[in-house]
Amino acid sequence: MTTALRRIWPLSALAGVAGSIAGLFIDPHALLASYLAAAVAWSAIPIGALAVLLTTYLVRGEWTEGLHAPLTAAALTLPVAGLLFVPVLIAMPWLYPWASETEPHGAFQAVYLTPWFFSIRTIAYFVVWTVLALWAREAWGDLPRMMRAGSVGLIVYALTASFAGIDWIESLSPGFHSSIYGLLFLTFQLVAGFAFAVVVALQRRGPTFRYGDILLALLMLWAYIHAMQYIVIWSGDIPDEAIWYLRRSSDGWGVVLTLLVMLQFVIPFFAMLSQRVRYERGPLLVIAAATLVLRFVEAFWLVLPSVSVAGPVLLLAVPATVLAVGGVLMLAFGEMQRRVEAAMAQKAR
């Protein structure tokens, strides 16, 4: 992270906190829903970075060395990301309908969708991910330990991250069920974590390796998972599931969905068919940065229609929560990046 960015993020955090406080007085529901979406989008970066880091321990190559420092630093901010979810746990009754309903939807949901169990699971997710991040950091440089950390860690990550997506976002609509939703959330995190690491790596002079090839593959996976869920839901013709998409294609959200598909898949796909775009620093940096920004668009598209939030107040709530959460997390990343790079330099001597 450059010195200029280190100076910007504290101011961004302060501005975001001030805007969030103002939003609480104007429309608490809109502010809390926006905070949830912002927390999900920002936390996807360290969680996804952890998954990509563990993958690099199993699939070694030149590109893995260039991304090791940003991936490790991002993964080590997971405790901070966990703390940023505390407001979500506090605001649970105002965000999740099952948290305030007296009649559960079924016997399983009566146990699974309870505030205390939701809180325990969320805390457990971040504890497990933090342990995996620490394990990955300690294993670096020792190939057998790296292989063990990568193989075990990816299995644990896939299970926990899938349940986290179901808990944090899918349960906003208790009547909606999708067997592929956990995998959809995994791709959301993988794209966020990898794109973030590429943006950080490309800010320094050096080879771009095969970052463009991997980013293109991840975007294709992201588009495939979304398309599969859409096809399965519409072919099933189940009202509760179809309503989930109807809410996200009306009241202006259809425009957001169209822009998301075009900017996140169609345009990058055809652009990166060119080797010049895929391997040169400038075009690849633009695509990776746009991919990061679109993660926030996707998070708000997933969250806000479920809680029926709309109106001009979002013009304050959305940027305020993004800046508040992001400012804190990026400050933590800057410190972790400094420590990781210092440790790598010392180990290389």
Tens digits of residue pLDDT in 38-73:
999 999 999 999 999 999 999 887 788 889 999 999
Confidence of residue 82 (pLDDT cuts 50, 70, 90): very high
**pLDDT, mean of residues 176-182:** 86
* Contact status, residue 215 vs residue 200, Cβ threshold 8 Å: no
pLDDT in tens, 132-150: 999 999 999 888 999 999 9
Tracing tokens 């009649």 back to the chain, one arrives at 103
Higher pLDDT, 1 or 79: 79
pLDDT score at 349: 62
Higher pLDDT, 205 or 337: 337
CA distance 57 to 43: 22
Three-class HEC string of the chain: CCHHHHHHHHHHHHHHHHHHHHHHHHCHHHHHHHHHHHHHHHHHHHHHHHHHHHHHHHCCCHHHHHHHHHHHHHHCCHHHHHHCCHHHHHCHHHHCHHHCCCCCCCHHHHHHCCHHHHHHHHHHHHHHHHHHHHHHHHHCCCHHHHHHHHHHHHHHHHHHHHHHHHHHCHHHCCCCCCCCHHHHHHHHHHHHHHHHHHHHHHCCCCCCCCHHHHHHHHHHHHHHHHHHHHHHHHHHCCHHHHHHHHHCCCCCHHHHHHHHHHHHHHHHHHHCCCHHHHHCHHHHHHHHHHHHHHHHHHHHHHHHHHHCCCCCCHHHHHHHHHHHHHHHHHHHHHHHHHHHHHHHHHHHC
Count Cβ atoms within 10 A of the Cβ of residue 163 and give its class: 0-12 exposed, 13-18 middle, 19 or more buried.
Answer: middle
- What is the pLDDT of the chain when averaged over all its residues? 90
Confidence of residue 240 (pLDDT cuts 50, 70, 90): confident
Q: How many CB atoms lie within 10 A of CB 334?
A: 18
The angle subtended at Cα 90 by Cα 296 and Cα 123, nearest 5°, is 75
Chain CA centroid to CA 218, Å: 14
pLDDT score at 167: 94
pLDDT score at 248: 87
pLDDT score at 66: 85
Sign for the CA dihedral angle at 78, 84, 90, 92 comes to negative
The angle subtended at Cα 120 by Cα 114 and Cα 124, nearest 5°, is 145
Residue 272's closest CA among 295, 288, 254, 249?
288
Please say if the pLDDT value at position 242 is more than 90: no
**pLDDT, mean of residues 158-175:** 92
Domains held by the chain: number: 1
CA distance 30 to 147: 45
Tracing tokens 């325990």 back to the chain, one arrives at 120
pLDDT score at 230: 87
The domain of 252 spans 3-348
* Contact status, residue 103 vs residue 152, Cβ threshold 8 Å: no
* Contact status, residue 73 vs residue 336, Cβ threshold 8 Å: yes
Most confident of 237-241, 338-342, 345-349: 338-342
pLDDT in tens, 190-236: 999 999 999 999 987 777 778 999 999 999 999 999 999 888 888 77
Please say if the pLDDT value at position 247 is more than 90: no
Tracing tokens 């980013």 back to the chain, one arrives at 215
pLDDT score at 346: 75
- Distances in Å between the Cα of 63 and the Cα atoms of 118, 188, 202, 249, 329 are 38, 21, 12, 39, 25
Percent of the chain with pLDDT over 70: 95
pLDDT score at 106: 65
Structure tokens at 263: 């900017």
Structure tokens at 155: 């299995």
pLDDT in tens, 309-336: 777 888 899 999 999 999 999 999 999 9
**pLDDT, mean of residues 83-102:** 88
- Distances in Å between the Cα of 328 and the Cα atoms of 6, 9, 79, 151 are 11, 7, 12, 31
pLDDT score at 2: 56
